[in-house]
Structure 1
């Protein structure tokens, strides 16, 4: 399968947009209460180790995706079931990200619009971009991500200036002990290590598209580091506005905190800015998962291009994002009780570590 090439900077923009895409709108590490930022930073450090594992695999099998590495590491017989599981895993997470987006839009600005229509229009934009190839996706990152960060920083400044901001809501640090921080940062339940840092396992599908393979580790580490800092700063500001209790109870605490901004009864109601930022972030999240799944399918069936399967995948994701849960509460419960323990942990943590161990052993004995 022929693939285009993108620069290290473009890959960085795409990956960091993917990493913080829909995670920034949730109460990340809410279980740690006012210490959420500590849980994020702790899991970020472990995320750097995970990224080292992902990129080290690329050192052993340069220019290959995870799908191409698997048969060489564990053999064809064992690899094909895992390849299918990864393709379904990527598609399922695309569905969950679409559902997050649809729920937010339907509950805030388009309350009378059917969610299927909101997600469907959004999916048309994603598929249109992906059909332009990875170069178009990379250029989109180059254009959109700086705007995303500009809006985010603007909203932070406005929150800091608002009367609701009170940094005392962040103390006492470790007032509930270290256990809540560890529980929010690490599995087996939904944790910041697996969401969003572990989701960067997607980078294993993008190794071949980087025009300079020597930059893989730099891009991967920078993605985890910068993304973790942005999420930690965001949690500090949002908790300072809402307080740890509301931060943990609201479905979309960032949106709630930004809506509370009112400077001299003049600067207020920044809903449009928030929606633009969230649409941009979820665009990279959903687009990344669909692209990764399309690459897997294309390489398994030895297709010349992934263009022909992007539209069917877009239709599937749109439909299943609505069908996967009857309500947003049920959707969140599935994420907490099923996705974390049974999908994230084995596919983000356990399997890559095992693959690296086997690859290291193979290379050592071959040498």
Structure 2
């Protein structure tokens, strides 16, 4: 996978389900300052990819789970590695479930959820079997499409913007901004520990890749901020906080009467493309993690059983959209912090202590 392709994967992963769900979650807490909450959350969440990059560089391009085994040994390392696999599976299940709920609520209410999950995971199985190079090329192609569609949506909304809806920005003070940033730190920014840990061992050139990764990360953040700003300027904070899917509602407002209409269909295609990339990365991370932990030559044999298991979990793990929103608001940030901050920090500290011990032994000789 080339560095540009890796950037495309990172960008699409960040947008993923966040571009549809983050506006309503944050606006309910931060009101007109929701866009500031996104920026604050992104700055805090940058710790996750930064620490994973540092770990993989110190351990000569090994994957995140290989680093766990190398640093903490076969038992504690395997336990943490299994935790990362379960986290990736859990995240993938939520991503698939998000698409299924959107489709049944907004477009095809009579179609069962499992039908959408089956289609998404079938694509994930095929993508994994084709290899990361194919995913990289596919992401690079999708990147241009997504940017053009979102930019077109913004352009067609210019006449409907009301900048006064952004005021007062700090009406509730910084406490409200921090409260809005709290769920966004875990969703989607700390989740990037998965995409970073999966991409790094597969990038052809790692020199200066941290800069490239930062560009993709903050470009994705910029698009989320723009979605927040446009949503607030079109609907206002109170209305946005009560919309189920603000981006879809925003796209329905875009257009030029009798000239350009139904732009939401293109926006929906772009969103599903982002979600599919995020699901594929979670699926691939879990399978590669299993291969490492079980010392298998190839994990493709487990791709279909894992897909079936994820379809079953998606039917039971999230009973409703309300339950999902409550989970994101309360539990997801500390849960993601465990794998995005605390475990990488532990690995870095142990690596540093071991490095200091080696230097002392060499000095004594």
CA distance in 2 between counterparts of 1:42 and 1:339 reads 17
Alignment-derived partner of residue 239 in structure 2 = 246
Higher fraction of helix: 2
Q: Which string of whole-angstrom CA distances, capped at 9 and with x for unpartnered residues, describes residues 252-301 of structure 1?
A: 11111211234235433223112201110100111111111011001111
CA distance in 2 between counterparts of 1:344 and 1:296 reads 18
Out of 4, 16, 33, the position equivalent to 1:9 is: 4
Residue 210 of structure 1: how far off its partner (Å): 0.7
- Is 1:305 the counterpart of 2:298? The answer is yes
Out of 247, 255, 264, the position equivalent to 1:271 is: 264
Matches within 5 A, 1:84-103: 84-103=82-101
Contact 2:33/2:177 (CA < 8 Å) preserved in 1?
Answer: yes
Contact 1:27/1:251 (CA < 8 Å) preserved in 2?
Answer: no
Alignment-derived partner of residue 115 in structure 1 = 113
Alignment-derived partner of residue 355 in structure 2 = 363
Matches within 5 A, 1:216-235: 216-235=209-228
- Which stretch of the first structure deviates more once superposed, 41-50 or 96-105? 41-50
- Is 1:21 the counterpart of 2:16? The answer is yes
Q: Which string of whole-angstrom CA distances, capped at 9 and with x for unpartnered residues, describes residues 83-113 of structure 1?
A: 1111111001100011111111111222222
Residue 232 of structure 1: how far off its partner (Å): 0.7
Matches within 5 A, 1:116-265: 116-161=114-159, 163=160, 165-186=161-182, 191-202=183-194, 203-265=196-258
CA distance in 1 between counterparts of 2:205 and 2:68 reads 23
Gaps of 5+ in 2: 360-365
Call closer, same or farther: CA 1:313–1:216 in 2, change over 3 Å. farther
CA distance in 1 between counterparts of 2:209 and 2:307 reads 29
CA distance in 2 between counterparts of 1:216 and 1:68 reads 20
SS at match of 2:185: coil
Call closer, same or farther: CA 1:215–1:308 in 2, change over 3 Å. farther
Q: Which string of whole-angstrom CA distances, capped at 9 and with x for unpartnered residues, describes residues 175-196 of structure 1?
A: 110101111223xxxx222211
Call closer, same or farther: CA 1:216–1:309 in 2, change over 3 Å. farther
CA distance in 2 between counterparts of 1:226 and 1:196 reads 14
Contact 1:40/1:228 (CA < 8 Å) preserved in 2?
Answer: yes
SS at match of 1:150: helix
Residue 74 of structure 1: how far off its partner (Å): 2.1
Q: Which string of whole-angstrom CA distances, capped at 9 and with x for unpartnered residues, describes residues 300-322 of structure 1?
A: 11222222222222121122112
SS at match of 1:195: helix
Residue 115 of structure 1: how far off its partner (Å): 1.6
- CA root-mean-square deviation: 1.6
Alignment-derived partner of residue 286 in structure 1 = 279
When normalised by structure 2's length, the TM-score is 0.93
Alignment-derived partner of residue 363 in structure 2 = none
Alignment-derived partner of residue 307 in structure 2 = 314
CA distance in 1 between counterparts of 2:291 and 2:71 reads 20
Alignment-derived partner of residue 3 in structure 1 = none
Instruction: Give the count of matched residue pairs.
Output: 355
Gaps of 5+ in 1: 1-5
Structure 1 runs of 4+ with >4 Å offset: none
Q: Which string of whole-angstrom CA distances, capped at 9 and with x for unpartnered residues, describes residues 131-179 of structure 1?
A: 1011111111011111011111111111223x3x211101112111010
